C-alpha cells in the first residue's frame, strides 16, 4: 500500500478568505483524510482567526471548506495518483 501523502491547499493563505497568513498569526490548521483503495491522502490547510468557526457556525464552515478543498483536489489529477488507481480498478 502506498504511504500516506500530504498535500497542502493554498500554502500561506487562509483556505476560506485567502488572506495571507503571517508568522505568529492565530491560525487553525485543518487536516482532511481522503481514502482510496490504493492509499490515503491527507489534505492540509489553514484558517485565519476571522474564519475560525464558532460553535454555531461550525457546520457551515466545515461544509464550505470540504467543498472547496475537495473540488480543488478532484480538479487536478496530478495530485491524486493513489486515487487514480482506484478509478481504473
Ligand atoms: Zn480567513
Asked whether the predicted pLDDT for residue 84 surpasses 80, the reply is no
Cα of 67 to ligand 1 centre, how many Å?
16
The conformation of residue 52, written as its DSSP 8-state character, comes to S
Contacts of 72 (CB under 8 A, 6+ apart): 9
- Residue 9, pLDDT score: 94
Q: What is the pLDDT of residues 9-66, one digit of tens each?
A: 999 999 999 999 999 889 999 999 987 666 788 999 999 999 999 999 999 999 999 9
Q: How many residues does the chain have?
A: 89
The model's pTM is: 0.78
What is the distance in A from the centroid of ligand 1 to the CA of 18?
A: 6
Q: Which residues span the domain enclosing 75?
A: 5-88
Total number of domains in the chain: 1
The CA-atom distances, in angstroms, between 86 and each of 6, 22, 35 are 18, 38, 10
Q: Which residues surround ligand 1, an ion (CB under 5 A)?
A: 14, 16-17, 19, 48, 51
pLDDT for position 52: 93
CA–centroid distance, 42 to ligand 1, in Å, is: 21
Q: What per-residue confidence (pLDDT) applies to 60? A: 94
Q: Over the range 61-88, which residues count as b (16 or more CB within 10 Å of their CB) and which as e? A: beeebeeebeebbeeeeebbebbeeeee
Q: Inform me whether the pLDDT recorded for 67 exceeds 60.
A: yes
Amino acid at each position: 500500500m502506498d504511504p500516506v501523502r500530504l498535500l497542502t491547499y493554498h500554502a500561506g493563505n487562509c483556505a476560506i478568505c485567502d488572506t495571507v497568513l503571517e508568522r505568529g498569526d492565530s491560525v487553525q490548521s485543518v487536516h482532511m483524510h481522503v481514502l482510496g483503495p490504493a492509499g490515503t491522502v491527507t489534505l492540509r490547510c489553514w484558517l485565519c482567526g476571522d474564519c475560525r468557526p464558532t460553535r454555531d457556525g461550525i457546520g457551515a464552515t466545515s461544509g464550505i471548506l470540504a467543498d472547496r478543498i475537495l473540488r480543488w483536489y478532484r480538479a487536478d489529477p496530478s495530485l491524486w495518483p493513489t486515487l487514480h488507481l482506484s478509478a481504473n480498478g
